[in-house]
Chains A and B, each alone.
Chain A
């Protein structure tokens, strides 16, 4: 166990050369090459959409590459199916588990095996393996009764029983508690010490620095670097993820007006057990300014939107609008005061998929557009409102009577953003305004956001697209594990500084202590 990394890392296990995969309109992987050695924990790092998933799907035989080749232990490797990949000693634990809740652990393991042994024997093997690797697991318990961490163990044990040479783990800690993360890391280290290579996909920098021997960083489908994470700072890696192509902000900060929205020590526990708790978020937004909030996904973006929309309640003084405390108010009370929001998830959160555009216009427009009189709905007025959104924001649809889910992502997003903007908000908060939206629609949405700020509204744009944030923001701040960094004027921010704000969880922690 105490051997150094160099002693356990052996020769080349899997060599990837020039792997390329294109989908219509996007190149998911562009000429990616790197090598995984025996017994090493190799991180694959990148932002959402950087091409990590496509790459591992090619290794696991789920997707066939357009070009390039792979070599596994000196021989050509081109798996056509996951079955073939498993046969060659490549196993994968997915982010979303494929387990049957009504079956017990041993039965679930047997279902994923090529030639499962007799149940009694299998149960004994599961006990043996799970104890050997510090993953306590009772083979006779129902999977439905297990925690997310325990379910992940079932998947890992299933892989281990097949004695893999390469174990791929897709964002394994996203569903784990800190204690479970510790156990998982112990297991992975032990596995590596026995010669199994691990390809570890994540965007959590600190984790990678603790666990991994090598890191390959992807950005926009291309490999940007391979480095030793223990000798590279989290900040440097964040910079590599963000890339050097980042455009410096182009927007001149206007003369900001009075403070409209103020958050003071806003702490909100997430309603999702694996969500991020907001920790003392403090920030002020002034009339006529756009505050851009960056950060890697899952660092509190959804929770911040919920705390602002009123879906999550806060102590009343933690959120105030023009000096009035509104933290205790629900979504509709906030809407009537002019705080409007557009969540990230279009279908199911911002809009009801099977309802018509008219009905979806009512969803947030009921109060400010005066679409209800003493409880009764004014359908004519609601339809007019939907038509106004469609015209003003160039939503491509045959008419307001069509279901939200029949629209393309870009068109529905224009509808959702347009619905809020047309209600003349005092404060507008949008999360991922152009996620999965085509370029033309994205440009139109950004312009609309800028025009709104021009007109005197206070706007918060939460996004993972830094280029977008640099284009629209007057000031920039980053969310990191539920904490919001001090906002800084976007103009003049260097890539260095942005990397520090986004990735430097550790550095920021130190700064907090020093205060």
Chain B
């Protein structure tokens, strides 16, 4: 008989091995699914994992990789702080949209002035502040009236989407756009363009911000009192109060930080890869980042890797759809498997298998 036994303390070795194990298990299970769909499993997996990085057309895909991974990592880092403390911001998508609207509005307000040194930093600030303020709504409601931040932050996503549509059709619409919805293109406006720093790499300021966020989060969580308080609150809330942590302050900090980072991600996206405020500007980065945060075990370096892996499955998945004719649903199922296996093998860090008969107590 096989049974599970709780380890006396989490295994450090297994916490590193399990993500690798999960990726391998996903490849095997996914391969079986692709084979059942009548495709060559090895070719599909090569198309998803190998071609975008080292294949023939990798020069195109590599840029896409950072463009997709940047916002995912930036948002996920912010979310992970709250998740570590048991504060659940599910509405990063909304904060992302508001950050984009605020950033774009500042850029457009200065059009066509030529002062990048002033306008671009102001846009960055506006994006962060916009996301921060949008996240303050669930934060204040929670600290004042003890509302559930999961519900409030999530519902505010739909409010933000309506606001986005109204902006694209109204206040921010391009006056020279012959009535079409959508703002002026910020990428074509010198002072507001979030351009690639190195041609063809996909490396824009948002990606730089993501890397800086990873480093800051790492230092915060491992070296700073605030990070310690975040971890303590998540693991043992009563012990945290005993240690003098003020829970309300932590709620404001965690929601505020994740909102600001999501807002930044939105601003960099609207001024760069997306280019303009449009009705369908948001594509779900804020929700996918939740998966990235957990895939990366809420650890900054893990999130960096998870963001890149997630971006890879998106890009590789699209490539597999177009070159091999795989249905989009198969790619989504494949991504689902990845998350499933990751959470399933996670158990091995805290439990171990015991073989043989159970001793009679």
Contacts and interface: CB of A to CB of B under 8 A. Distances in A.
* Residue with the highest number of chain A CB atoms closer than 10 Å, among B8, B10, B242, B243: B242
A348 B244 contact: no
Contact-residue size bin, chain A (C-beta under 8 Å from the other chain): 20 to 34
A364 B236 CA distance: 14
Given A351-B239, A364-B243, A375-B226, A403 B9 contact: yes
B352 interface: no
A132 B64 CA distance: 73
A246 B238 CA distance: 35
A345 B238 contact: yes
Contact of A352 (B9, B223, B226, B235): B235
A336 B212 CA distance: 35
Given A353-B235, A354-B9, A355-B235, A311 B228 contact: no
A349 B225 contact: no
B84 interface: no
A406 B11 CA distance: 12
A336 to B, nearest CB: 10
Interface in A324-345: 330-332, 335, 341, 343, 345
- The A interface is mostly helix, strand or loop, or mixed, namely mixed
Interface string B220-242: 00011110100110011011011
A364 B239 CA distance: 10
A377 B228 contact: yes
B238 to A, nearest CB: 5
Contacts of B228: 359, 362, 377
Interface in A394-414: 402-403, 405-406
B55 to A, nearest CB: 43
A349 B10 CA distance: 20
Given A355-B231, A406-B8, A363 B226 contact: no
B232 to A, nearest CB: 6
A309 interface: yes
B244 A349 contact: no
B244 A352 contact: no
Given A352-B235, A353-B235, A363 B223 contact: no
B242 to A, nearest CB: 6
A349 B8 contact: no
A65 to B, nearest CB: 15
A319 interface: no
Contacts of B223: 376-377, 379
Given A309-B242, A311-B241, A331-B244, A352 B236 contact: yes
B264 to A, nearest CB: 23
B235 A377 contact: no
Given A354-B10, A403-B9, A406-B9, A363 B242 contact: yes
Contacts of A437: none
A9 to B, nearest CB: 39
Contact of B225 (A330, A347, A354, A375): A375
Contacts of B238: 345, 348-349
Given A354-B10, A403-B10, A372 B239 contact: no
A381 interface: no
Contact of A348 (B224, B236, B243): B236
Contacts of A364: 242-243
A300 B10 CA distance: 36
Given A352-B235, A352-B236, A353-B236, A376 B8 contact: no
Contact of B239 (A330, A335, A350, A403): A350
A417 B232 CA distance: 20
A159 interface: no
A331 B10 contact: no
A349 B239 contact: yes
A76 B322 CA distance: 77
A272 to B, nearest CB: 11
A157 interface: no
Given A332-B244, A403-B9, A403-B10, A363 B225 contact: no
A330 B10 contact: no
Contacts of A377: 223-225, 228
A366 interface: yes
Contacts of B244: 310, 330-332, 335
Contact of A363 (B9, B10, B232, B246): B232
Contacts of A403: 8-10
A87 to B, nearest CB: 24
A453 to B, nearest CB: 23
B243 A363 contact: yes
B90 to A, nearest CB: 21
Contacts of A335: 244
B232 A366 contact: no
Contacts of B225: 366, 372, 375-377
Nearest to A347: B236
Contacts of A310: 244
A331 B242 contact: yes
A25 B9 CA distance: 26
A34 B232 CA distance: 49
B9 A349 contact: no
Interface in A401-441: 402-403, 405-406
Interface string B24-62: 000000000000000000000000000000000000000
A377 B226 CA distance: 10
Q: Which of B225, B228, B232, B244 counts the most A-chain CB atoms under 10 A from its CB?
A: B244
A376 B224 contact: yes
A330 B9 CA distance: 32
B9 to A, nearest CB: 4
A376 B243 CA distance: 16
Contacts of A379: 223
Nearest to B236: A352
Interface in B297-325: none
A366 B244 CA distance: 11
A363 B239 contact: yes
A364 B10 CA distance: 24
Nearest to B243: A363
Contact of A405 (B9, B231, B232, B239): B9
11 contacts: A331-B241, A332-B243, A351-B236, A352-B239, A353-B236, A355-B236, A363-B232, A366-B225, A376-B223, A377-B225, A403-B10
Interface of A: 309-311, 330-332, 335, 341, 343, 345, 347-355, 359, 362-364, 366, 372, 375-377, 379, 402-403, 405-406
Given A347-B236, A354-B9, A362-B228, 17 more contacts: A331-B242, A331-B243, A332-B243, A341-B242, A349-B242, A351-B239, A352-B232, A352-B236, A352-B239, A353-B235, A354-B235, A355-B236, A359-B232, A375-B224, A376-B225, A377-B223, A403-B10
